[in-house]
A and B are shown apart, each in its own frame.
Chain A
Amino acid sequence: MQNISYDLITALPEIIVVSMAMLILLADFFIKPANRIVLYILAQATLLAAVCATLMTYVPSVGYAFTNTFVDDSLADILKLMTYIGTALIFVYSRQYIQQRNMYRGEFYALVLFSVLGMMIMISGQSMLTLYIGLELLSLSLYALVALDRDNARATEAAMKYFVLGALASGMLLYGMSMIYGATGSLNIAEIQSTLMSQKANSVLILGLVFIVSGIAFKLGAVPFQMWVPDVYEGSPTAVTMLISSVPKFAAFAMVIRLLAQGLGTQAMVVEWQQMLIMMAVLSIIIGNITAIAQTNLKRMLAYSTISHVGFILFGVFSASMNGLSSAMFYVASYVLMTLAGFGMILLLSRKGFEADQLENLKGLNQRSPWYAFLLMIVMLSMMGFPFTVGFIAKFSVLQAAFQAGYMWLVVFAAIMACIGAFYYLRVVWYMYFEAPNDHNPIVAPLEMRVILSLNVIALIALGVMPEILLELCGFAITKSLS
C-alpha cells in the first residue's frame, strides 16, 4: 500500500475500462437513439485505449500491486490483449444484430465492458478473493446480457437457467476456496504455493480442490458440468452467445493457471488434479462430439462442439508441463478466433425477425453467396482440425504435449473422437455446397463487418500455415509466469 502510484499504473487498463463503461452509461442518457453509433465508437475506443495502456505499461518482470492481490505478468498482458481483440470483434459482428433486436442500447456496451473488466481481474488475480470477485463480475454481467432482450421468453429462460446454475457453481468454487484457505491460512496464490511445498495432500486440501475444479469446470463448460451450455447457447440472443462462448475462455484459462498451476501447482497436488482433469477431458470429448451429431440447431451444435474443444484444452492442462500449458493457451486463442468467426457467420445470415440458427438455413449457401460459403467452410474445417488451418495446429500441439507426458492411449482415443466429430462439421459443408437453397433473401451486412469477418477467417488459415508467432507468444507467456 506504500506505493499507490505504482498500483494505479499497473491497473491502468482496468481503470480505463471501468471509467469508460460508466461514461457510456451516462452518455446513453444524453444521446438520441438515432446517434447511438457514438456509444459503439466509445466502446471500441475503450478497447483501443486499453490495448495502448496494456502495451505501454508492459514490463518483462512480474509485478505485484494492491498488496499482492493483483499481478501483472506477461501471461496477464498477453491474455488481456487477446481479450480486447476478441471483444472488439464481438462489437463489430453484433452491431447490426442488436440494432434489429431492441438491444442497441448503452447497457449492452456497458455490460459487455463490465464483463471485460471481470475477465481482466480474473486474468490478473493473485488472490483467491480477487479471482472470485472478477468471476462474479463477469458472470453477473453475462446473466444480465442474456436476458437483455427482455421480451424474448427463450432468452429469459436461458438467463434464469444460467443464473441458477452459475450461482451454484460460484458457491462450489467459493466453498473450495474456503477449504484451501482453512488448510493454508492464506488467500494469496504465491503464499498458498509456498505453504503447500512442505505439505502432503490431506483431505481438507483434496476437498477444496474437488470444489475448485468443479467450479472451474462449470465455467469452462466441461463434462459433467456441461448441462447449461447447450440451453444457454440456444436461448441467448446470438450476439450474447458469441460473447459467452468466446472471450471468457481466456479468463477461465487464466483461472486454471492461477489456481491449479500456480497456487495448487505443487508436486503433491498436481497428481490429484491431473486425475480429475483427465476424467473431465475424456468425457467432454466423448459427449461433445457424439451429441453434436444429433443436433439440428446450429447454436446447439456449436455448444457441443465447444464442450469437445474444452476437452482438448484440458488435454493440454493435465499434461501439466510448460509445453502442455502453452499449447492449451494456443488452443484457447485459436478456439476463440474460430468461435467468433462461426457465430459471426450466424449473425451475418440472420436478419430482422429471422435467426439463421438451424442447420437447414445453411442449405445452398454456395448458390446464394460463394464467398460466405467458402468462409464458413474454412471455419468448419478449422474447428474440425483440418491441416493448414489453425485448428489442426492447436489439436496437434495439445495432443503432442499429452503424448510427451506419457498419455499415449488417451491421445489415440482423442484423435479417434476428433475423426467422429468431423462428421457434423462436414455435414455443414455438405448442406452449403450440395443442397438446394430454401431461402433466397439477400445477405445484408455493414461493410466493416464483411471485411473484418473475412479477415478473421483468413487469419484461421494464416495462423494454420504460420503458427510460429502465436505459438512462441504462448510459450513465452507461460514460461515467463510459471518459472
Chain B
Amino acid sequence: MTFFGLPFHDIVFYVLAAILLYAAINVIITRNPVYAALYLVLAFFTAAGIWLLLEAEFLAITLVLVYVGAVMVLFLFVVMMLDINLDKLREGFWNALPVALPVGGLMAVEMVMIVGTRHFGVDKVAAPVAHAADYSNTAELGRVLYTDYLLPFELASVVLLVAIVAAIALTLRSRKESKSMDPAKQVLVKKEDRLRILKMDATVEKIDVIVVPTEEAK
C-alpha cells in the first residue's frame, strides 16, 4: 500500500514525527506553563505512536500510562497550584542569547553529523526484522527483564527504595502544633489514667433550710 510513492508506514512516521517536533518546540517557546505541559502530553502521545511503529507496543503503552496518565497530571497540578513568575524566569534571556545560540547551534550541527545517516544509515545498521502478528513484545521484555537483566532490575528497585528513604528523611516532620490522634496511645489508656475515684464518708450533710420571705409575708 503506497501513497504518493511512499509506503504507508513511512507516511505515518512522517506525520507523527512532524507533530512530535511541533509539540516539542512549543513546549519550549510557549509562554503559558499549562500550555507547555499540554504540549508535552501531545509530544508523549506522538512518541508513543512512533514506538508502536517500531513494534515496541509495551513501551508505547507504558509511556502513555505512566507519563501522560500519572506524571503529567501531577505536573499539571503543580503548575496550576504554584504561582510561577515567568517574567523572572525569562530575565537574562537576551543577554545569554549571543553566547547560547552559537554554542547550541554548534552542538546541534555536531549531533546531526554524528547521529545522521553517515554512521547510522540503513547501510550501516540493519533494519529490524518484522515479527509475526502473534509475537508478544511484552512477553519478550518480561523474559529478558527477569533473566538477562535481573541484576540491573533488582538494583533499580534499590534506587527507588533510596529515593523513598531520602524523600521521607528530608521532608517528614512531626509538627508540634498538630492535634493528631495516636491510636496506640489511645488504646493503652487505663481506667486509672482518666477516672479518679474519691472515697467519701457516707454522711449526709445537714442542710439548713433558709426560708425566703415572700412578698406576701411581709
Contacts and interface: CB of A to CB of B under 8 A. Distances in A.
Given A70-B151, A204-B119, A147 B170 contact: yes
A127 B147 contact: no
Contacts of A182: 115, 119-120
B150 interface: yes
A18 B158 contact: yes
A67 B110 CA distance: 36
Given A117-B158, A133-B159, A11 B151 contact: yes
Interface in A43-87: 65-67, 69-70
Interface stretch (A135-143, A283-291, A298-306, A388-396): A135-143
Nearest to A126: B151
B119 A137 contact: no
Contacts of B161: 22, 114
Interface string A399-437: 000000000000000000000000000000000000000
A269 B151 CA distance: 29
A25 B147 CA distance: 29
Interface string A201-218: 011100100000000000
Given A1-B150, A150-B170, A183 B158 contact: no
Secondary structure of the A side of the interface? Answer: helix
Q: Which of B163, B165, B170 neighbours the largest number of chain A CB atoms within 10 Å of its CB?
A: B165
Q: Which of B114, B148, B149, B161 neighbours the largest number of chain A CB atoms within 10 Å of its CB?
A: B114
B162 A69 contact: no
A121 B155 contact: yes
A134 B166 contact: no
A25 B168 CA distance: 12
A404 B148 CA distance: 43
Given A150-B170, A202-B119, A204-B114, A129 B162 contact: no
Given A127-B152, A203-B114, A148 B169 contact: yes
Contact of A144 (B110, B149, B170): B170
A52 B176 CA distance: 46
B117 to A, nearest CB: 12
Contacts, number: 81
A133 B152 contact: yes
Given A67-B148, A70-B151, A144 B169 contact: yes
B155 A134 contact: yes
A144 B188 CA distance: 36
Nearest to B168: A107
A324 B110 CA distance: 34
Contacts of B159: 133, 136-137, 140
Nearest to A69: B151
B79 interface: no
Contact of A203 (B119, B152, B155, B170): B119
Given A133-B152, A134-B155, A202-B119, A67 B147 contact: yes
A18 to B, nearest CB: 6
A147 B167 CA distance: 11
A127 B163 CA distance: 23
Contact of A140 (B113, B114, B163): B163
B113 A203 contact: yes
Contact of B165 (A25, A121, A127, A207): A25
Contacts of B169: 105, 107, 111, 144, 148
A130 interface: yes
A144 B166 contact: yes
Given A1-B150, A148-B170, A203-B114, A137 B162 contact: yes
B156 interface: yes
B155 A110 contact: no
A1 B152 contact: no
A2 to B, nearest CB: 10
A458 B132 CA distance: 69
A136 B162 CA distance: 10
Interface in B160-193: 161-163, 165-166, 169-170
Interface in B99-153: 110, 113-115, 119-120, 147-152
Contacts of A121: 155
A3 to B, nearest CB: 12
Contacts of A202: 119
A7 to B, nearest CB: 8
Contact of A114 (B110, B147, B158): B158
Contacts of A65: 151
B158 A137 contact: yes
Q: Which of B147, B151, B159, B165 neighbours the largest number of chain A CB atoms within 10 Å of its CB?
A: B151
B151 to A, nearest CB: 4
Nearest to B147: A1
A66 B120 CA distance: 30
A111 B166 contact: yes
Nearest to A133: B155
Given A114-B162, A137-B158, A130 B113 contact: no
Nearest to B148: A67
A150 B169 CA distance: 9
Nearest to A108: B169
B157 to A, nearest CB: 10
Contacts of A114: 158, 161-162, 165
B204 to A, nearest CB: 53
A67 B149 CA distance: 8
Contacts of B110: 207
Nearest to A134: B155
Contacts of A1: 147-148, 150
Nearest to A67: B148
Interface of B: 110, 113-115, 119-120, 147-152, 155-156, 158-159, 161-163, 165-166, 169-170
9 contacts: A25-B165, A69-B148, A70-B151, A107-B169, A111-B166, A121-B155, A129-B152, A137-B158, A143-B166
> What are the nearest 7 A-B pairs in CB distance?
A144-B166, A66-B151, A107-B169, A1-B147, A67-B148, A133-B155, A129-B152
Given A111-B162, A182-B119, 12 more contacts: A67-B148, A107-B165, A110-B165, A111-B166, A130-B152, A130-B155, A133-B159, A137-B158, A144-B166, A179-B114, A203-B114, A204-B115
